Homo-oligomer: A and B are copies of this chain.
Amino acid sequence: MTTTTSPEAAARLVGDGADCCEPQPGTAPLEAEPAAELAAKFKALGDANRLLLLAMIASGESAEACVCDLTGPLGLGQPTVSHHLKILVDAGFLTREKRGTWSYYSVVPGALSELCAELCKESALGGLMDAPSCD
């Protein structure tokens, strides 16, 4: 703002009157739109019951399960499980196939790994991924 120059700004400007809070346009390498999409996916994973649902579905032999198989172990009501499953479907982690009276939910194969990959590619977040993760 006026006098107390931040160390960083001082290092760049050496001057005095410049404050440390300039907009610095173009600095953020991650745009708002992809950030929102990424956040939506993370938000879908940001619930313990949904993670458990994913794990339970994936752990099955056929990697699919109907709602009635998932309601009991979680201790949640059927509408709630249906709701969570819908969120996971909307986020692209599950697919729903209706066979007869039952709805079979199965895992979208590369969804999670793709999310991981996006984390690495998208913007400077790649700098955070120095350790080998999924191999």
Check B123–A110 contact: CB distance below 8 A: no
Residue in A20, A112, A128 whose Cβ sees the most chain B Cβ within 10 Å: A128
* Chain B residue, CB-CB nearest to A61: B8
* Interchain CB contact under 8 A, B99 and A128: no
Taking the closest CB of chain B, its distance from the CB of A111, in whole angstroms, is 7
Copies of this chain present in the complex amount to: 2
* Binary B-proximity of A106-131 (CB < 8 A = 1, otherwise 0): 01011111101101101111011111
Task: Indicate which residue in B30, B46, B59 contacts A55 across the interface (CB closer than 8 Å).
Answer: B30
Take A116-B119, A117-B133 as given contacts and tell me if A73 and B28 are in contact as well, using a CB distance cutoff of 8 Å. yes
12 additional contacts (CB under 8 A) given A21-B72, A116-B133, A117-B133 = A8-B66, A20-B102, A27-B59, A32-B52, A35-B52, A38-B51, A39-B45, A51-B125, A54-B125, A63-B127, A107-B128, A112-B129
> Hey, which bits of chain A sit against chain B, CB under 8 A?
1, 4, 6-9, 19-25, 27-30, 32, 35-36, 38-40, 42-52, 54-56, 58-59, 63, 65-66, 68-69, 71-73, 99-102, 107, 109-114, 116-117, 119-120, 122-125, 127-135
